[in-house]
Structure 1
Amino acid sequence: MFGYKVPAPDQAMLISGGRRQGGAPFRVVTGHGGFVMPFVRKVRFLTLAMIEAEVVETCVTRQAIALNVRAVIAFKVGNDPESIVNAGQRFLSDQNQMSVLTGRIFAGHLRSIIGSMTVEEIVTERQKLATEVLDTSKPEMAKIGLIVDSLQIQSIDDLGSGYIEAMSAPHKAAIQRQAQIAQAQATQTAQQAQQEAARLQAEYARQTAVVQAQYKAEIDRAQAEAAQAGPLAQAGAQREVLAAQTELAQRAAELRQQQLVAEVVRPAEAEAERIRLLAIAEAERTRILAEAAASNDRVALDRMLIDQLPQIVKEAARGLAGANVNVLNGADGLGEIAAGLVGQGLTILDSVKRNIGAPSRQRDEPIVIDVERQDPAR
């Protein structure tokens, strides 16, 4: 609409001309528009946006050490009508002068406050310095309609004197020492971790090799057992067959030995013993003949006895031939049986001789010899 003006959100509209309000040379309009009569009213706009000012100032500390301080101030025109009026009356024609004037104001306060502090305080307590500068400048800034949002001390330089460097040397050394210690600890930890990782890898490789060797050994053993199972079973069966055949052969040999003993050995031994007894009897007969020949008065009697002696022994041996003799100790047992028979024959012979010499017997009476068949088993 013709003659109607609206300020931007970050602007204040100043309308001059016409009736004054509260002694102000212009009417302030913010946040809405207003009708401006052409040729009668004049409109100007004042920025309410944030403005930045940079301060680079050489200051001298309480120790007479020169420092180059660089600071940045963020400020703006206040939102209240009074601040807008004050700022409009001073900067409306050249609003760029707000940054210049603000920088000069803060440079003065910065030199004043730094002059009351030491380098150590300035370096270590930058926020304290900024707060003091901000507090001392606020009333002066408010007079020109400006408010400060923030003040930042960006850098402090001792202009090459080396004071700050020397002041920071112990701290740098301590920090470097701590850094070296931390680096050494980190290196040691890394080496230990690498060694532990290598050890774990070696242990894993060893365990893997052991397990693989065990698996391979089990597989080889199973394959060998499977390959030997058939021959081993066949050999075991053959061994059992051979053992059974050996046992059967032993039993057959024992049985055959018993048969040979019963059928051959015992009859042969009995026959040999009989022949030996006959030979003994014949030898005794020869001896008696010799003794009878030496005796003249008993020739006839001795001859009769001699003739009867073989018959006596023969009768005794006949019982041995038909007897079932169990010989317990082989040839020695047969010898004992033969000696017993000969002894019986000689006993009979001695008895006959005594009977012949008895006075009651007549010369012509016959001699009766009762030969009882002896059972060798008794």
Structure 2
Amino acid sequence: MFGYRVPAPDQAMLISGGRRGMGTAPFRVVTGHGAFVSPVFRKTRFLTLAMCEAEVDENCVTHQGIALTVRAVIAFKVGNDKESIVNAGQRFLSDQDQMSVLTGRIFAGHLRSIIGSMTVEEIVTERQKLATEVLETSKAEMAKIGLIVDSLQIQSIDDGKTGYIAAMAAPHQAAIQRQAKIAQAQAAQASAEAEQAAARNQAEYARQTAVVKAEYTAQVDRAQAQAAQAGPLAAAHAQQEVLTAQTELAQRAAELRQQQLVAEVVRPAEAEAERIRVLALAEAERMKIQAEAAASNDRVALDRMLIDQLPLIVKEAAGGLAGANVNVLNGADGLGEIAAGLVGQGLTILDSVRQNLGTSRSLPDGEGAARARHLGPVD
């Protein structure tokens, strides 16, 4: 539209000419909207409100008298309020590049002043403190020319060839290097330990694998050997059982033969010997009685004594038979034969005694005694 002007978002439109709406300012400030401007009676100019940058590279002397070269960057702009725009427009509208030059000079002066009151150690270790103090001291001066500072960054501090900062940093560098070496050594040691542990694990795994393989191989070999020996072992066990059975059979046959020999030879011989012994004992007892009777010349007493002693003789014979180890081959029949023989012998002796008693009654005493002396043994 003819005569209508609109400033950019980062610009302030300054309209000079006329008196309406300007107040105490030499021009009217328009931001954020447009305005009608008479091309004949009014003049329009634009002031940037964008962010600007100024660099400072200044040689400064510290409180210790050490020269430092300080490099800094300042970010600034024209204030958004009408007063700041008017102040900046009156000073920089015709040459807006001068804002960066003037700002750099202002900050250079304040930077030299503040560094002169600080030591190198403070400047190096407390850069933010330095920047804050420079901003605080320059704020009022920058406001007078309509500028505000957003930030101040100290880029570098250089002591030239004096080596002060390097000497100051040497202990820290040595400590850092020492810590770095320690850390490197620890890392190397940890790496070596890890490698050794890995090697040990691998060796242990290999050992366990070898042991398992050896055990498996041994088990297979044992199984194969047992399988190969199963047949011969079974045959040997069978043969051993046969030999054992044959040995037991032979032992049983020998025991049976021994029992047969005892029954057929030893026991009959022992029984015969015991019978002869019993008869000998009876004969001796009979002769003893006859001798006693002859000595007394009393036949009647002899006969009566013999009769009285006959049960004792038979008892002694039976006692001798009871003590003998006699094996009766014919069972009850054999036992009956032995008992019958003893009884028969007793009866024979008793009959002989009776005959002698009858003869003694008819014969004279002397003849009877003589016959008693000549009485033979009883079978």
Aligned to 1:65: 66
User: Given the two structures, how large is their TM-score scaled by the length of structure 2?
Assistant: 0.66
Task: Quote the Cα distance in structure 2 between the aligned partners of 1:33 and 1:227.
Answer: 115
User: Given the two structures, how large is their TM-score scaled by the length of structure 1?
Assistant: 0.66
Give the CA deviation at 1:146.
0.8
Task: Quote the Cα distance in structure 2 between the aligned partners of 1:12 and 1:118.
Answer: 44
Aligned to 1:15: 15
List per-residue Cα deviations over 1:118-165 (Å, max 9, x = no partner). Answer: 222211221111111111111111111111011111111111111212
> Which secondary structure does the structure 1 equivalent of 2:19 belong to?
strand
Aligned to 2:135: 134
Give the CA deviation at 1:63.
2.0
Give the CA deviation at 1:169.
1.9
List per-residue Cα deviations over 1:342-361 (Å, max 9, x = no partner). Answer: xxxxxxxxxxxxxxxxx967
Q: Tell me which amino acid in the other structure corresponds to 2:80.
A: N
Task: Quote the Cα distance in structure 2 between the aligned partners of 1:44 and 1:372.
Answer: 192
Aligned to 2:26: 25
Aligned to 2:98: 97
Aligned to 1:2: 2
Task: Quote the Cα distance in structure 2 between the aligned partners of 1:231 and 1:197.
Answer: 51
Q: Tell me which amino acid in the other structure corresponds to 1:37.
A: S
Change (3 A) 1:8 1:370: farther
Q: Size of the alignment, in residue pairs?
A: 289
> Which secondary structure does the structure 2 equivalent of 1:37 belong to?
coil
Aligned to 1:212: 213
Give the CA deviation at 1:62.
2.0
Aligned to 1:282: none
Give the CA deviation at 1:12.
1.8
> Which secondary structure does the structure 1 equivalent of 2:32 belong to?
coil
Task: Quote the Cα distance in structure 1 between the aligned partners of 2:9 and 2:90.
Answer: 21
> Which secondary structure does the structure 1 equivalent of 2:47 belong to?
strand
List per-residue Cα deviations over 1:218-250 (Å, max 9, x = no partner). Answer: 343344444444543443333223322321232
Q: Tell me which amino acid in the other structure corresponds to 1:149.
A: D
Structure 1, unmatched stretches of 5+, are 274-324, 329-358, 374-378
Matches within 5 A, 1:103-252: 103-252=104-253
Task: Quote the Cα distance in structure 1 between the aligned partners of 2:226 and 2:40.
Answer: 123
Change (3 A) 1:96 1:208: same
List per-residue Cα deviations over 1:246-291 (Å, max 9, x = no partner). Answer: 2123212332454466568999x89xx9xxxxxxxxxxxxxxxxxx
Matches within 5 A, 1:271-282: none
Change (3 A) 1:130 1:235: same
Task: Quote the Cα distance in structure 2 between the aligned partners of 1:162 and 1:139.
Answer: 37
Task: Quote the Cα distance in structure 1 between the aligned partners of 2:149 and 2:124.
Answer: 23
> Which secondary structure does the structure 2 equivalent of 1:40 belong to?
coil
Give the CA deviation at 1:72.
0.7
Q: Does 1:81 align with 2:90?
A: no
Task: Quote the Cα distance in structure 1 between the aligned partners of 2:325 and 2:247.
Answer: 31
Matches within 5 A, 1:294-305: none
> Which secondary structure does the structure 1 equivalent of 2:58 belong to?
strand
Aligned to 1:35: 36
> Which secondary structure does the structure 1 equivalent of 2:77 belong to?
strand
Task: Quote the Cα distance in structure 1 between the aligned partners of 2:325 and 2:137.
Answer: 153
Task: Quote the Cα distance in structure 2 between the aligned partners of 1:105 and 1:177.
Answer: 44
Change (3 A) 1:229 1:32: farther
Moved more, 1-10 or 130-139: 1-10
List per-residue Cα deviations over 1:68-108 (Å, max 9, x = no partner). Answer: 11011111111111111111222222222211111111111
Q: Does 1:55 align with 2:53?
A: no
List per-residue Cα deviations over 1:149-206 (Å, max 9, x = no partner). Answer: 1111111111111121222222222222233333333333333333333333333333
> Which secondary structure does the structure 2 equivalent of 1:238 belong to?
helix
Structure 2, unmatched stretches of 5+, are 274-323, 328-364
Task: Quote the Cα distance in structure 2 between the aligned partners of 1:64 and 1:89.
Answer: 41
> Which secondary structure does the structure 1 equivalent of 2:75 belong to?
strand
> Which secondary structure does the structure 1 equivalent of 2:27 belong to?
strand
Task: Quote the Cα distance in structure 2 between the aligned partners of 1:93 and 1:372.
Answer: 192
Change (3 A) 1:2 1:326: same
Task: Quote the Cα distance in structure 1 between the aligned partners of 2:48 and 2:260.
Answer: 150
Give identity over the alignment, percent. 79
Aligned to 1:302: none
> Which secondary structure does the structure 1 equivalent of 2:18 belong to?
strand
Change (3 A) 1:18 1:370: farther
Task: Quote the Cα distance in structure 1 between the aligned partners of 2:212 and 2:95.
Answer: 90
